[in-house]
């Protein structure tokens, strides 16, 4: 498993997604505000691009007029026919045991750890004292 840098965190607006192509796979990466999620970009119904879907928290009800949103269970609604998929598990709302999209691990990492690379140079502290340049080794 290799890491692939997608973009800076602020390059995907909150509530929106970006489509990326990695190793022949089309993947939708969503910014959910407090975290990111990634799923296969093609809807298993008829192939719509899920990156254009609307995301919303799952809503459940105990009875008429009594509903609540489950903020940890975020769904994406397919833009063509409205099938909904849980962005954590990839399972569809309509048939969770048979219809699903693949999910991918996505993390936010600090830029300096990604830019580090395999090559390192030795760094020495340098300071000036009474107009002399001093190198500390």
Q: Which of 80, 88, 93, 99 binds ligand FES (CB under 6 A)?
A: 80
**H or E element at residue 113:** helix 111-114
Q: How far is the CB of 38 from ligand FES (least distance, A)?
A: 18
Instruction: Give the C-alpha distances (Å, rounded to integers) separating 40 from 32, 35, 67, 91, 113.
Output: 16, 17, 30, 12, 27
Q: How far is the CB of 77 from ligand FES (least distance, A)?
A: 9
Residues 75 and 94: beta-carbon distance below 8 Å = no
Residues 11 and 20: beta-carbon distance below 8 Å = no
The verdict on 74 binding ligand FES (CB under 6 A) reads no
Q: Which of 12, 26, 45, 106 binds ligand FES (CB under 6 A)?
A: 45
The verdict on 83 binding ligand FES (CB under 6 A) reads yes
The verdict on 81 binding ligand FES (CB under 6 A) reads yes
Closer residue to ligand FES in complex, CB, 20/48? 48
Q: How far is the CB of 85 from ligand FES (least distance, A)?
A: 9
**Residues binding ligand FES (CB under 6 A):** 43, 45-48, 78, 80-81, 83
């Amino acid at each position: 498993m290799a890491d692939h840098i997608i973009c800076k965190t602020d390059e995907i607006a909150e509530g929106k997604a970006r489509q990326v192509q990695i190793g022949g796979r089309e993947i939708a990466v969503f910014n959910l505000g407090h975290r990111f999620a990634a799923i296969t970009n093609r809807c298993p119904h008829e192939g719509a691009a899920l990156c254009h879907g609307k995301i919303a928290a799952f809503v459940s009800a105990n009875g008429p007029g009594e509903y609540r949103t489950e903020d940890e269970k975020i769904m994406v609604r397919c833009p063509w026919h409205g099938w909904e998929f849980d962005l954590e598990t990839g399972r569809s709302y309509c048939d969770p045991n048979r219809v699903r999209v693949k999910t991918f691990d996505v993390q936010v990492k600090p830029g300096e750890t990604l830019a580090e690379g395999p090559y390192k140079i030795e760094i020495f502290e340098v300071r000036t004292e009474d107009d002399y340049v001093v190198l500390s080794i």
